[in-house]
A and B are shown apart, each in its own frame.
Chain A
Amino acid sequence: MTTLQLLNDIISALLLLAPSAAVLSLVIAGISLRREGTMTFAIGGGFTKWMFWAIVFLTLQPLLSWFTSFGVPVPLPGGGIATGWLASLQADLAQFMTNFVVLRLVPTLAAFFVLRAILDAASGQHPLPSVLAAMFLLGTQTTYNLLQSYNTGTRYATVDVLDSVWNHLVGTIMPIAAVLALIGAILNFATRKPFTRLVAVALALLTVSAIWKLLVSMM
């Protein structure tokens, strides 16, 4: 039985919109990073959930190839979208995401988070979560490109990207976070607040891979 052309076109349109959905997930992840309220993002919280969905959308096509191995053939339509109105709808939505959301809305949201950081400080809270959220939002496009560069295109692409993100987090972001922890420790010491916890955290952030290996060797 042949698949209806319109159905094929709908599948094509949805697959072509997956990158836009991934970018949108990254934007929502950036907002969740602040909304979770602390400097630490909760595993299983909004930020990680939306990052996960961004990666799933990015690797949707390789992920679907698993169904073939389950014995359920998933013939993905090749080529473009034959139905005119559907093709223009897909193009319009993709353009809306790029021109409206990424290029205009995201910088404005980031600017609001900078203001939020100042207001956070005024109300006695820490300004860093809002600053980090603003930075994450401004880096949405680059983060998307980074995730895309990790996409191996194989059936394991989703976990490959997750692995690479972990490596990037541990190897690039956490050593920088260690410096921020050290600065926090110095400020806490000078203002007579507990500081040893932050010293231990700074050292732990520099040795995350080793702590992972320690955990593995304990099992």
Chain B
Amino acid sequence: MNLGNMSFDNGILHLANWMGNVIMPTLAAVFIIMAILQFSKGQEFSHSMYGALACLLVSGLTRAFETFASQAAWNNPDLYWITIRTLIDWVANVILPVYAAGQVAAMALRLGILSLVQPTSGWLRHFVTAALCLMVSGLLRLAEFFVAQGGGGVT
């Protein structure tokens, strides 16, 4: 055993690589199986489903986080705030519009298929969710407007 070539840095780096590139893709299959079983029992399965997807995206998410954390110089005191803000921007302006498309598709399915069987199915909820996903910035501005209006206090 050549201890001269073994370093803690290499060890933890290879541990992270092994976890991200070997174990997590394997666990993705486990979470898909769990999602199927939860679906069959009528339980909520979205966490397992999205979890399986995230397990396959460790490298991509790491690169995304690195991009979020490099929006300003390393010694900029605002970097952590900028990083969190960039993450929120990304969720609101990239992920939620995609989620909105999914909700529109779910609404169409409800309207086209399920409403024939169950007229009270919640297609409207999917429609409103899709609309809200596309309106995050507007809702934030609206909340800010309300707060700004109340700046003078109650008279």
**Within 8 Å CB of A177, what residues of B?**
12
Among B78-86, B93-101, B112-120, B124-132, the stretch in contact with A: B78-86
Query: What would 23 A/B residue contacts be, using CB atoms closer than 8 Å?
Result: A135-B8, A135-B11, A139-B6, A139-B8, A142-B5, A146-B7, A178-B62, A180-B16, A180-B19, A182-B65, A183-B19, A183-B20, A190-B27, A190-B55, A203-B80, A204-B80, A206-B69, A207-B74, A207-B79, A210-B75, A211-B80, A216-B77, A217-B77
A189 part of interface (Cβ distance < 8 Å): yes
A154 part of interface (Cβ distance < 8 Å): no
Among B44-52, B102-110, B140-148, the stretch in contact with A: B44-52
Closest-CB distance, B87 to chain A (whole angstroms): 7
Contacts A178-B65, A179-B62, A182-B58 known; A142 to B31 CB distance under 8 Å?
no
B37 part of interface (Cβ distance < 8 Å): no
Closest-CB distance, B67 to chain A (whole angstroms): 10
Interface digits, A195-206 against B, CB 8 Å rule (1 contact, 0 not)? 000011011101
Interface of chain B: mostly helix, strand, loop or mixed: helix
Other contacts beyond A138-B6, A214-B80: 15, CB < 8 A: A102-B3, A138-B11, A141-B3, A146-B7, A172-B9, A173-B8, A177-B12, A182-B62, A183-B58, A186-B55, A190-B27, A199-B87, A204-B80, A206-B68, A210-B79
Total cross-chain contacts (CB, 8 A): 132
B1 part of interface (Cβ distance < 8 Å): yes
Within 8 A of B (CB), among A11-53: none
**Within 8 Å CB of B89, what residues of A?**
none
Name B residues whose Cβ lies closer than 8 Å to a Cβ of A.
Answer: 1, 3-13, 15-16, 19-20, 24, 27, 31, 47-48, 50-52, 54-55, 58, 61-62, 65-66, 68-69, 72, 74-80, 83-84, 87
Name A residues whose Cβ lies closer than 8 Å to a Cβ of B.
Answer: 102-103, 106-107, 131-132, 135-136, 138-143, 146, 172-173, 175-180, 182-183, 186-187, 189-192, 199-200, 202-204, 206-207, 209-211, 213-214, 216-217
**Residue among B54, B76, B78 making CB contact with A186, cutoff 8 Å:** B54
A179 and B9 within 8 A (CB)? no
**Residue among A136, A138, A180, A209 making CB contact with B74, cutoff 8 Å:** A209
Contacts A179-B62, A206-B66 known; A186 to B15 CB distance under 8 Å?
no
**Residue among A103, A146, A203 making CB contact with B69, cutoff 8 Å:** A203
**Residue among B8, B47, B72, B75 making CB contact with A143, cutoff 8 Å:** B8
**Within 8 Å CB of A178, what residues of B?**
62, 65
